[in-house]
Amino acid sequence: VECSSLEQALRASAAGADIVLLDNFSPQALHQVAAEVKAKQPQVLVEASGGITLENLQDYLGPHIDVISMGCLTQNAPALDFSLRV
């Protein structure tokens, strides 16, 4: 479940979400929210997403973060124009 606040993350995890995606949090806020989610629902996986790049990845890694999503890996990929004739 994608969450943009602590309240949403706690509600989603209490309702049985397997994974809580914390989207567009600053690294400091992310770690605080992830720690609270894990304290109440340790079985829930916590995913970090939004604004994460190779340059700032280290800031988002932590003991309560299970998964990191990085859209920059695909958003900056160049397009390839090709055709297939059968």
Query: How do residues 36-52 score in pLDDT, each as one tens digit?
Result: 999 999 999 999 999 99
Span 61-83, pLDDT tens digits: 999 999 999 876 666 667 778 78
Rounded to two decimals, the pTM is: 0.82
DSSP state of 84: -
Structural domain of residue 28, as residue ranges?
Answer: 2-71
CA angle 9, 18, 43 (to 5 degrees): 90
In-domain check, residue 86: no
Question: Tell me, what CATH number does 44's domain have?
Answer: 3.20.20.70
Q: What is the pLDDT of residue 72?
A: 65
DSSP state of 24: S
In-domain check, residue 15: yes
In-domain check, residue 84: no
Are the C-beta atoms of 72 and 44 separated by less than 8 Å? no
Instruction: Tell me how far CA of residue 5 lies from CA of 10, 22, 24, 26, 85, in angstroms.
Output: 9, 8, 10, 12, 50
Backbone angles phi, psi at 34, to 5 degrees: -60, -40
Q: How many domains does the chain have?
A: 1
